[in-house]
Amino acid sequence: MNENPQTELKEHQNISCDDEIDLMDCLLVLWRRKVLIILMTILITGVAIGTAMLRYPAKYVTSCAISLDYPGIEENKNPDNTMFAKEQIITPDIIARATSFLQKSNKSFSEIDLRAMIDIESIIPYEIQEKMKKAEIKKESYSFYPNRFTLTFTQEKDGILSNKEREEILLSIINQYKKDFEIKYGQEPLVMMKFPDNFLKNSDYIDVVNTFKTKTDDFIKFLNSKIAKAGFFRSKKTGESFIELKSSIELLNNIEISQIEATIHTLQLSKNKKNLINLYKQKIKTIEVKRKKREKEALVAKELLKYIKQAEGYTAPKSVGNDKGETRLVLDTSFIKSLVKEDSSSFLIKTALEAEVDAKKMEVDKEYLQEEIVCLKEKEKEKEKENITYLQENLKNISERIFILSKKANDLNMEYLSTLVSNAVNIVRYPETNKIRAVNIRKIALLFGVMALLISIFIAFFIEYIKNVKHKSQFQNAKNFAS
C-alpha cells in the first residue's frame, strides 16, 4: 500500500515534465532543422517575387523637368495672350523634329510609337495641393496655373531604346520647343518705314504729308502696344526706351509735319497746279449739288410747318406754289392731322434750321475754293520756287527721320523680345532613368520572407513533433513487449 502512492507521484512528475516546453529544446529543434527552414523561406520568397515580377513587369521611365518663366504664364497664357496648354510642348511636329536623328538610324521605329511613350504632367507644389484640398472640402474653387512640368518617356520593355537615346529624345524635344518659342515670340520685327526712292519725286506734296501722318499714326500705335507690355524697358546698348521714341515721333508728327501741312494748304503748293485747280472745281460742283439739296429740304420743311399751322386752324390747303402754278405740292389732310397729333412742329423747325446751316457752310466752302483757284492762277513764280525748295528739303528730312526712328524702334523691340524669351524655357532637372514597377518588390520580398520564415518554423516543429510521437510510440511498444 505504501509503494503505490510513490509510484503514482513519479508517474505524475514525468507527465508534468513532458507537458512543459523547454526553450533550449526549441532552439535545438531550430538548429537541427535550419537547412529546411532556410530552403523553404528562400523558396517561398522566390516564388512570390517571381510571380510579382511576371505579373507586374518593370517599366523604364526617363523623366526630366522644365520651367517656363515669362510674363503671362501665371495666368496660363502665352506671350501673345493666347491660352497656354502643356500639350503644345509635345506636339507631333516637335516630336517628329526632335526624333529625326532616331528615324535615320532606325527606320523601322514608328513616330506614332514614340508619341504613345511620351507624356507631360504639371508639377503642383505640396502647399498648393493642400490649399486645393481645403478648397475642395469647402466646395470652393482654387485656381493655380503651374509653370513647371515633368516630361516622361515610358518604355515597357528593355532593349527598344537605350537610356542614352531616351534622354537625348527628351532634351531634343525641349530644345525644339525652345527654338519654336523664341522664333514665334522673339522675332517680331517692325516693318521698316523706308519710303521708295521716287516717292518724294513722284508724289504731290499734300499726298506725301498724308502718307507721313498715316505712317506716324501707325508707328505710335505700335509703340503704345510695346509700352503696355515692356513698360520702362531701356536698351542696354543705346539707353533708349519705347517711351522716348514715342515722344520723338509725336513731336515730329504734331509740330514739323503739321507745320509742313499748314504751309502747303496756305501757299497752295502743288507740283501740278492744273490738276489741283481741276480738283477744286470738281469739289465746287459737288458742294453746289449738296447745297441745293439742303436748301430744298429747308424749303419743304418750312412749307410743311406752314401747313401744320393752317391745319390747327382747320383749314386744309390743297396746293402750294406760286400764282403761276409752276410748283405745286398737294398734301393729304389726314397726313397733316397725324403730324399735328405727333407734334411735329419742333422736328420740322429743327430740320429746316439744320438744312439752312449746312447750306450756308457749303456756300462758304465753295467761296473758299473759288478764292483758292484765283490764288493759284495769280501766284508769283519766284516766291513759289523758294517755298517749294524749302518744302522739299523739309519733306526729305522728315522722311529720313521717320526711317531712323523706325529702325531704332525695331532694334529696341528685338532686344526686348530677346531678353523676354532667352530664359523663358529652362531645364530644372536633367533626364534620368529609373526602373519602375506597379508594385514595390522590396516590400513584397520582406512580407513574403517573414511569412515564409514563420511557415518554415511551424513545419520544422510539426516534423519534430511527429518524430517525437513516433519515437515514444516505438519506445512504449518495446517496453510493453519487454514486460
0.85 cut: is pTM over it? no
Query: Same structural domain for residues 388 and 461?
Result: no
pLDDT at 344: 65
Query: Same structural domain for residues 123 and 51?
Result: no
pLDDT at 2: 45
In a domain, 413, yes or no: yes
In a domain, 431, yes or no: no
Q: Any idea which of 83-92, 126-135, 377-386, 422-431 has the lowest mean pLDDT?
A: 377-386
pLDDT at 270: 72
Q: Is 146 left (phi over 0), alpha (psi -120 to 50) or beta?
A: beta
How far, CA to CA in Å, does 342 sit from each of 305, 311, 338, 347, 435? 13, 13, 6, 10, 89
pLDDT at 295 > cutoff 80: yes
HEC letters along 143-183: CCCCCEEEEEEEECCCCCCCHHHHHHHHHHHHHHHHHHHHH
How large a percentage of the chain has pLDDT more than 90? 17
pLDDT at 340 > cutoff 80: no
Tell me the average pLDDT across 214-221.
90
Confidence of residue 311 (pLDDT cuts 50, 70, 90): low
Confidence of residue 171 (pLDDT cuts 50, 70, 90): very high
Tell me the average pLDDT across 406-424.
86
In a domain, 18, yes or no: no
- CB count, 10 Å around CB of 118? 21
Q: Mark which of 160, 186, 212 sits at the end of a domain.
A: 186
Q: Mark which of 159, 186, 213 sits at the end of a domain.
A: 186
What is the extent of the structural domain holding 152? 59-186
**Does an H or E element contain 379, and which?**
none
pLDDT at 21: 56
pLDDT at 315: 46
Q: Any idea which of 179-188, 199-208, 367-376 has the lowest mean pLDDT?
A: 367-376
pLDDT at 376 > cutoff 60: yes
pLDDT at 464: 82
Question: Backbone phi, then psi, for 139, in 5-degree steps?
Answer: 60, 40
pLDDT at 89: 93
Strand segments (E) across 55-197:
59-68, 118-122, 148-155
Query: Same structural domain for residues 180 and 300?
Result: no
How far, CA to CA in Å, does 194 sit from each of 24, 160, 456? 105, 57, 93
Largest CA distance in the chain: 179
In a domain, 427, yes or no: no
In a domain, 2, yes or no: no
Terminal Cα distance for the chain, rounded: 22
